[in-house]
Every structure is written in C-alpha cells, then in structure tokens.
Amino acid sequence: MADETPASNDQNTPPTNGDGSAPRLPMFFNTVEPLNHRDHSDLCLADTPNFEFAKEAHLVPLLAEEFPIAQRFFPVVFDSQGIGQPIAIMGLRQGINSYVEDDGGWKKEVYIPAYIRRYPFMLARLRDGDEKLSLCIDPTAKIVQKAGSRKLFDGEEGSQLTKDILTFCERYERGVAQTRLFCEKLNELELLREGEAVVQNGDKPTRFSGFRIIDENKLRELKQKAVSEMNQNGTLAVIHAHLFSLS
C-alpha cells in the first residue's frame, strides 16, 4: 500500500541455498539457524517480550483463521501479487507500526498477529529436497539471551518451552497451508478486485492502493451451491470478517 509491497511470507526458506548462497529471509529474520543443543544449549528467552523488531512493519502477513479476531483491530486486505497473501495493515504510514510502543511493548488489548508472535522461531527445510521441517531460530533477536529462567534446553533435550514453541510453529504451518487453499478458492471464484482507499491524515489526504479486496458484487452473484459450500467449510465467515475490517 502506498506503493509498497509487503515482504514475502515464505515460511520454509532454507538456511542455505543449494549453491551455498544466502537465501532471502522472511521479514524480521536477520539469520536462521537450526536449533540444536550443540550451538544453543545456553540460550534462554527474556521474561518480557520486546516487539521493537516489528516497529517498522506497517504490513504484516495474516492467517485466514486470524481474520475474525484481527478484524476488530486492523484492516485486513490481500496482496496484489500472486494468489493474494492476506495482510494486516498495522499503520497508515510506511515504516511505522502504530501498535509498537516506544519501549518495545505492544499496545494493550490489541491482538498480536501470529506471524509476529512466532519470531524469532520458524520451521524450515535445512536442505533442498528435504521433506521434514526443522525448528530454527534467529539468535540475534533481542528476546534471546544467554541467561535466564526460560531455558530452551534441559540438558541435551529441548525444554518444555521449546516443545511448546515447536507445537505453535507446527500449528502455524498448518494455518499457512489452509490460508493458501483459502486464497486459491478466492482466485478460482474470481472474488478479488483491486482496492483503493483515501484516509484523511491531518490536513492531507493519503491515498492507498496496491492491494486487493473481496468484490462484494461478485460475492452476491455466486451460485447457491458455491455459497453453501463456503458456509459449511467456514470460508464465508472468514470473508465477512475481511469485509467488516474495511470499515
């Protein structure tokens, strides 16, 4: 928006490419390392989360399952490229996330997208062709420390905290797959159209474009069979949450 394209939400970027060159990392990540006892046995997580890493993220990827709660706090739109990655608009100015406080905290009682809560962890394929995803970490994150009570390892085994993080990341990956299916369905039914908005920012109106939204006219014109199917599988509720968010 505002002629800005969000960073790709590539969930499975490998730590190295097949030719040994550095890959393009997902948003927020400075580096990605497979979490292991040999290299990370002394790592802990800070007791208090710090979201300074997201302070410039005015666009954040969103899962379809998050629409119902996210729509209460931010506009939810779709990327203008590819199948249309869902995006939460976190700020009206490029490079400013309106929900990150000066001290790195998150604005109280505002929903935190799963993409942000997942950092500094992700699941990734370690080598080209790998089927299994491995839990990886960005050790440069401020929340990662070398002392504290929230240890990532108990001896040579991952701690309960690490097991919980792995469970969350696995659930996130399932959400990514479901979101892709959702977006593919929207494209199949040709329900997405280019969006545009004008927001009064002080005395100067700001024009936003470069995103897509659901075409309500085409939604109303859908055949009953398609509407019934989307109602039964929950897709219709997700679409309505998106439409509510635009207000």
What CA–CA distances, in Å, run from 186 to 9, 134, 182, 211, 212? 18, 31, 6, 14, 11
Q: pLDDT band at residue 22, thresholds of 50, 70 and 90?
A: low
Map out the domains of the chain as residue ranges.
Answer: 33-245
Q: pLDDT band at residue 23, thresholds of 50, 70 and 90?
A: low
Please name the amino acid found at residue 228. S
Q: What is the pTM of this model?
A: 0.87
Report the C-alpha gap between 143 and 160 in whole angstroms. 17
- Given a cut of 80, whether residue 13 has pLDDT beyond it is no
Tell me the backbone φ, ψ of residue 38, rounded to 5 degrees.
Answer: -60, -45
pLDDT score for 27: 95
- What angle, 0 to 180 degrees and rounded to 10, lies between the N-to-C axes of helices 235-245 and 160-188? 90
List, in sequence order, every residue forming a beta bridge with 151; answer none if it has no partner: 44
Under the phi-then-psi rule, with left for phi > 0, alpha for psi from -120 to 50, and beta for the rest, what region is 14?
Answer: beta
Q: Which stretch of 82-86, 126-130, 131-135 has the lowest confidence by average pLDDT?
A: 126-130
Report the C-alpha gap between 72 and 97 in whole angstroms. 17
pLDDT score for 209: 79
